[in-house]
C-alpha cells in the first residue's frame, strides 16, 4: 500500500515559526556567560564562546528548537547543551510547541537544504536566507496518527543506524590512538625490545636506548649557510609582492600542517624580489615548519617543484646534517614532539602564538645511528599503511550507513515506505505522551510556539 495520497505539500513557513539569530556585539563575547550558538556549535553540547550583556528575547533558544546554519553547508541540528542559549546571526531557529512537527522537519529538511546548496553558486561562502527556508515546499502527512508513525519509525530505525555509525567512529579513534602509540614507541624506544636502556634525564621522555644520542635541533642542522631560517619578516614579503607571472613560488604554512601542495595554487613573486629575500629559499627535500596558527610546529618535507621557492613569513625552513640524520627522521621527530605537546611549550599563551628560531633550536631530539633511523622509518610507514587500510574501511562503512540513513528517511517522508504496519500502537502512544509532556513543560515555563 502506498501512503502517498495521505501526504500533501506545505510550505515550511506555514508549519513553524522562523526566528533569525541576533547580531551580538563581539565586544561582549566571553568564555563565561550565556552560551552563544554559532553555526559551528549546531549539534554540540558546548559552545566556544559565551555572551555577557543584554539580548532580545527572540534570541533565546532551547534544545527543542531546530537550528539551521545559513552559511557554508547549511547544516541542521539542535543545541544539545543542558541550559538555554543565545542564537547568533546567520543561524535560524524553527520553533513550534509540537515537538513531533519539529522532529519530522529535522528528518525532512537536510535533503532540501542540500539541494539548495548544490544549486547555489558562490565564489566564496554560500549563503541561505530565512525566506528561502520558509518557502520550501515539503511533503507532510495529513493525519496526526500517520505523522506520529513516521516519526516513531524514523526515531527507531535511525537510532540503530546512528549506533552503528558511532561504533565505526569509535573504531577510527581507537585506530588513531593505536597508530600514535606505535609511532611513539618506535621513535623513542626503537624496535628492539631487548635493547639496553638508559635514563634520559628528561622527565617526559623516560628511558631511551643506551646507544642513542640525546641532542637538540641546533646541533643537527646542516653546516651549510641558511640551513635553518624563518620566512621574510613583515614588509619584506607582502601581498603587493605577489604577481601572477612570478618566477618564484611562495611556500606557506598550510603545506606543513596538511602535507598537501598544489603548485598551480601557490602564490608567486618576481625573480628580482626573490634576490632580496634569498636567505629564505627552500628546495625540494627541505623541511617546512608551520611557525604560527593552531597547528604551529607541524612539519613536512617539500616535494620537487618546477621553480625556485621561498618560505613565507608564517613558516620556517630546516635542513639537517646528512652525516647525523635525515630530514625524514627529523620530520617524524618534530611531528611527534608536536603531538606530545613539547613544541607547544616553546611559545607563550598569546592569542597568536608563534615559534621562534631560538626556541626551536633548544628542542630536544633523539638520534639513533642513521641505519637504524631508516629501519625505524620504514617500519612506521609499513604500519601506517596497515592502519590506513583499516581507517579507509571504517570511513567507507560510515559513508554507506549515512547514505542508507538518508535513503530510509526519504522513503519514509514521501510515503514510499508504508510505516503503518512497521510501528506498534505502543510506540505511537509513547511518542505522543512524550510530546504532550514536553508541551506541558513548555507551557509551564512560558515557551512560545
Looking only at the bridges linking them, the beta strands covering 34-37 and 85-87 are: parallel
Tell me: pLDDT of 442 over 80: no
Residue 173 lies in a domain: yes
Q: How far apart are CA 154 and CA 171, in angstroms?
A: 25
User: Do residues 228 and 349 both lie within one domain?
Assistant: yes
Confidence of residue 444 (pLDDT cuts 50, 70, 90): very low
Cα dihedral 328, 331, 332, 338 in deg (nearest 10): 180
Please write the tens of the pLDDT for every residue from 241-268.
999 999 999 999 999 999 999 999 999 9
CA of residue 7 relative to chain centroid, distance:
39
pLDDT over threshold 50, residue 215: yes
Whole-number pLDDT of residue 349: 60
Q: Are residues 217 and 362 in the same domain?
A: yes
Overall average pLDDT of the 20-37 stretch: 94
Percentage of residues of the chain with pLDDT beyond 90: 82
> Looking at the domain assignment, is residue 342 inside a domain?
yes
| pTM summary value | 0.81
| pLDDT above 90 for 436 | no
- Domain co-membership, 351 together with 257: yes
Alpha carbons 388 and 386: distance in angstroms, whole number: 5
Indicate if 402 and 351 belong to the same structural domain. no
User: If you average pLDDT over residues 19-42, what whole number do you get?
Assistant: 94
Structural domain boundaries enclosing 135: 9-141
> How far does CA 235 lie from the centroid of its chain?
32
Long-range contacts of 6-10 (CB under 8 A, 24+ apart): 6/141, 6/142, 6/143, 6/146, 6/415, 7/139, 7/140, 7/141, 7/142, 7/414, 7/415, 8/139, 8/140, 8/142, 9/137, 9/138, 9/139, 9/140, 10/137, 10/138, 10/140
In a domain, residue 198? The reply is no
Q: Give the pLDDT score at 434.
A: 86
Average pLDDT, the chain: 92
pLDDT greater at residue 235 or residue 327: 327
Q: Is 50 among the domain residues?
A: yes
Q: Based on the structure, what is the number of domains in the chain?
A: 3
CATH of the domain at 306: 3.90.220.20
Confidence of residue 5 (pLDDT cuts 50, 70, 90): low
* CA separation for the pair 432, 63 (Å, rounded): 18
Domain boundary pick from 367, 397, 415 = 367
Give the C-alpha separation, 346 to 359, whole Å.
Answer: 6
Q: Which residues face 301 on adjacent strands?
A: 287
Q: How many CB atoms lie within 10 A of CB 133?
A: 23
Residues 378 and 348 in one domain: no
pLDDT 10s digits, 161-184: 999 999 999 999 999 999 999 999
Amino acid at each position: 500500500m502506498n501512503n502517498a495520497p495521505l501526504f500533501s505539500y506545505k510550505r515550511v513557513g506555514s508549519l513553524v515559526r522562523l526566528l533569525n539569530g541576533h547580531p551580538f556585539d563581539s565586544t561582549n563575547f566571553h568564555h563565561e556567560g550565556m552560551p552563544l550558538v554559532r553555526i559551528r556549535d549546531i549539534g554540540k553540547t558546548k559552545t566556544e564562546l559565551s555572551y555577557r550583556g543584554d539580548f532580545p528575547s527572540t534570541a533565546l533558544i532551547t534544545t527543542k528548537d531546530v537550528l539551521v546554519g545559513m552559511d557554508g553547508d547549511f547544516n541542521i541540528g539542535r543545541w544539545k547543551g543542558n541550559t538555554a542559549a543565545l542564537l547568533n546571526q546567520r543561524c535560524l531557529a524553527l520553533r513550534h510547541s509540537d515537538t513531533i512537527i519539529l522532529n519530522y522537519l529535522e528528518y525532512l529538511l537536510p535533503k532540501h537544504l542540500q539541494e539548495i546548496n548544490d544549486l547555489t553558486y558562490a565564489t566564496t561562502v554560500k549563503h541561505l536566507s530565512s525566506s528561502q527556508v520558509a518557502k520550501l515546499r515539503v511533503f507532510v502527512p495529513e493525519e496526526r496518527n500517520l505523522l506520529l508513525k513516521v516519526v516513531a519509525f524514523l526515531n527507531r530505525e535511525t537510532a540503530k543506524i546512528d549506533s552503528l555509525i558511532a561504533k565505526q567512529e569509535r573504531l577510527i579513534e581507537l585506530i588513531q590512538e593505536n597508530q600514535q602509540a606505535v609511532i611513539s614507541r618506535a621513535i623513542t624506544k626503537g624496535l628492539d625490545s631487548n635493547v639496553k636502556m638508559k635514563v634520559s634525564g628528561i622527565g617526559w621522555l623516560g628511558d631511551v636506548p643506551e646507544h642513542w644520542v640525546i641532542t637538540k635541533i641546533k646541533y643537527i642542522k646542516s653546516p651549510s649557510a641558511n640551513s635553518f631560517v624563518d620566512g621574510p619578516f613583515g614588509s619584506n614579503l607582502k601581498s603587493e609582492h605577489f604577481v601572477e607571472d612570478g618566477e618564484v613560488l611562495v611556500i606557506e604554512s598550510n603545506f606543513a600542517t596538511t602535507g598537501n601542495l598544489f603548485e598551480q595554487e601557490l602564490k608567486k613573486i618576481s625573480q628580482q624580489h626573490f634576490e632580496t629575500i634569498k636567505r629564505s629559499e627552500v628546495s625540494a627535500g627541505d623541511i617546512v615548519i608551520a611557525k604560527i596558527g593552531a597547528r604551529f610546529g607541524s612539519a613536512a618535507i617539500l616535494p620537487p617543484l618546477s621553480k625556485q621557492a621561498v618560505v613565507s613569513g608564517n613558516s620556517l625552513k630546516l635542513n639537517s646534517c646528512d652525516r647525523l640524520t635525515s630530514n625524514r627522521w627529523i620530520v617524524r621527530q618534530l611531528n611527534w614532539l608536536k603531538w606530545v605537546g613539547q613544541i607547544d611549550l616553546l611559545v607563550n599563551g598569546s592569542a597568536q602564538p608563534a615559534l621562534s628560531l631560538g626556541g626551536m633550536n633548544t628542542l630536544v631530539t633523539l638520534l639513533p645511528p642513521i641505519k637504524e633511523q631508516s629501519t625505524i622509518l620504514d617500519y612506521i610507514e609499513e604500519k601506517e599503511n596497515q592502519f590506513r587500510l583499516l581507517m579507509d574501511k571504517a570511513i567507507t562503512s560510515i559513508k554507506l550507513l549515512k547514505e542508507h540513513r538518508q535513503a530510509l528517511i526519504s522513503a519514509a517522508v514521501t510515503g514510499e515506505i508504508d510505516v503503518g504496519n512497521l510501528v506498534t500502537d505502543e510506540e505511537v502512544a509513547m511518542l505522543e505522551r512524550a510530546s504532550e509532556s514536553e508541551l506541558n513543560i513548555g507551557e509551564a515555563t512560558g515557551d512560545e510556539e
